[in-house]
A and B are shown apart, each in its own frame.
Chain A
Amino acid sequence: MLEKFNLHIIIADDDTDDSDLMFETFTNNPNFGKVSLVANGEELLNYLKDTSKQTPDVILTDINMPILDGIEALEKILNTNEFKNIPCFVYSTSINPSYKEKCDVIGVKGYLIKPYSFDAFAEIPKKILSIIEI
Chain B
Amino acid sequence: MKDNNQNIESLLAEIASLKESLYESNSIINAIKQGDVDALVVHNNGVPQLYSLETADYTYRLLIEKFKQGALSIARDGLILYCNDYFSQLVNLPSEKIIGTYLNEYFDNPTLFVQLIEALKYGINTHEILLKSDNSTFPAYIALTDLEPAVEAIGIVITDLTEKKKHEETIFRHHKELEGKINELNSTNLNLKEFIHVISHDLKEPLRKIVMHGERIDGSCLSEGDTRSMNVMKSSALRLNSLIDDLVQYSSHTAQLERSEVDLADIIHEVIDDLEIIISDKNAKIELGKLPVIQASRVQMRQLFSNLITNAIKYSKTTITPLIQISQADYLDAELPNQNTKFIKIQIIDNGIGMETPHLIKIFTIFQRLHAKNEYSGNGIGLAICKKIMENHSGNITVESTLNEGTTFNLYFPIL
Which of chain A's residues has its CB closest to B211's CB?
A116
- Asked if A130 is at the interface of the complex by the 8 Å CB criterion, the answer is no
Taking a contact as CB atoms under 8 Å apart, the answer to whether B215 and A64 are in contact is no
Within 8 A of A (CB), among B201-237: 201, 204-205, 208-209, 211-212, 215-216
**B residues less than 8 Å from A96 (CB atoms):** 197-198, 201
Contact of A93 with B216 at beta-carbon distance under 8 Å, contacts A98-B194, A116-B211 already known: no
Taking a contact as CB atoms under 8 Å apart, the answer to whether A117 and B215 are in contact is yes
Within 8 A of B (CB), among A96-118: 96-98, 114-118
User: How many CB-defined contacts (below 8 Å) exist between A and B?
Assistant: 34
Most A Cβ at <10 Å: residue of B200, B201, B204: B201
Query: Closest CB-CB distance, B234 to chain A, in whole Å?
Result: 11
Question: How far, in whole Å, are A17 and B241 apart by their CA atoms in the complex?
Answer: 19
Question: How far, in whole Å, are A3 and B216 apart by their CA atoms in the complex?
Answer: 34
- Asked if A52 is at the interface of the complex by the 8 Å CB criterion, the answer is no
**A residues less than 8 Å from B209 (CB atoms):** 17
Question: How far, in whole Å, are A109 and B114 apart by their CA atoms in the complex?
Answer: 71
Question: How far, in whole Å, are A36 and B200 apart by their CA atoms in the complex?
Answer: 29
Query: Closest CB-CB distance, B55 to chain A, in whole Å?
Result: 79
Taking a contact as CB atoms under 8 Å apart, the answer to whether A93 and B215 are in contact is no
Taking a contact as CB atoms under 8 Å apart, the answer to whether A93 and B208 are in contact is yes
**B residues less than 8 Å from A115 (CB atoms):** 208, 212
Query: Closest CB-CB distance, A51 to chain B, in whole Å?
Result: 35
How many chain B residues sit at the interface, stated as a range, is 10 to 19
**B residues less than 8 Å from A15 (CB atoms):** 205
Interface of A is mostly: loop
Taking a contact as CB atoms under 8 Å apart, the answer to whether A93 and B212 are in contact is no
Question: How far, in whole Å, are A118 and B215 apart by their CA atoms in the complex?
Answer: 8
Taking a contact as CB atoms under 8 Å apart, the answer to whether B204 and A93 are in contact is yes
- Asked if A81 is at the interface of the complex by the 8 Å CB criterion, the answer is no
Taking a contact as CB atoms under 8 Å apart, the answer to whether A94 and B215 are in contact is no
Question: How far, in whole Å, are A94 and B194 apart by their CA atoms in the complex?
Answer: 13
**A residues less than 8 Å from B252 (CB atoms):** 97
Question: How far, in whole Å, are A77 and B221 apart by their CA atoms in the complex?
Answer: 49
Contact of A93 with B211 at beta-carbon distance under 8 Å, contacts A98-B194, A118-B216 already known: no
Query: Closest CB-CB distance, B360 to chain A, in whole Å?
Result: 34
**A residues less than 8 Å from B198 (CB atoms):** 96
- Asked if A55 is at the interface of the complex by the 8 Å CB criterion, the answer is no
- Asked if A31 is at the interface of the complex by the 8 Å CB criterion, the answer is no
Within 8 A of A (CB), among B172-217: 194, 197-198, 200-201, 204-205, 208-209, 211-212, 215-216
Contact of A117 with B194 at beta-carbon distance under 8 Å, contacts A93-B205, A94-B201, A94-B204 already known: no
Question: How far, in whole Å, are A19 and B96 apart by their CA atoms in the complex?
Answer: 96
Taking a contact as CB atoms under 8 Å apart, the answer to whether B201 and A64 are in contact is yes
Contact of A94 with B216 at beta-carbon distance under 8 Å, contacts A114-B208, A116-B208, A116-B211 already known: no
Taking a contact as CB atoms under 8 Å apart, the answer to whether B212 and A94 are in contact is no
Within 8 A of A (CB), among B12-41: none
9 further A-B contacts with Cβ under 8 Å, apart from A94-B201, A118-B212, are A64-B201, A92-B201, A93-B201, A93-B204, A93-B205, A93-B208, A94-B204, A114-B205, A118-B215
10 nearest CB pairs, A to B: A96-B197, A94-B201, A93-B205, A93-B204, A116-B211, A94-B204, A116-B208, A93-B201, A117-B215, A116-B212
Where the two chains meet, the residues of A that have a C-beta atom closer than 8 Å to any C-beta of B are 15, 17, 64, 92-94, 96-98, 114-118
A sample of 15 cross-chain residue pairs with beta-carbon separation below 8 angstroms, ordered by A number, consists of A15-B205, A92-B201, A94-B197, A94-B201, A97-B197, A97-B252, A98-B194, A98-B197, A114-B208, A116-B211, A116-B212, A116-B241, A117-B212, A117-B215, A118-B215
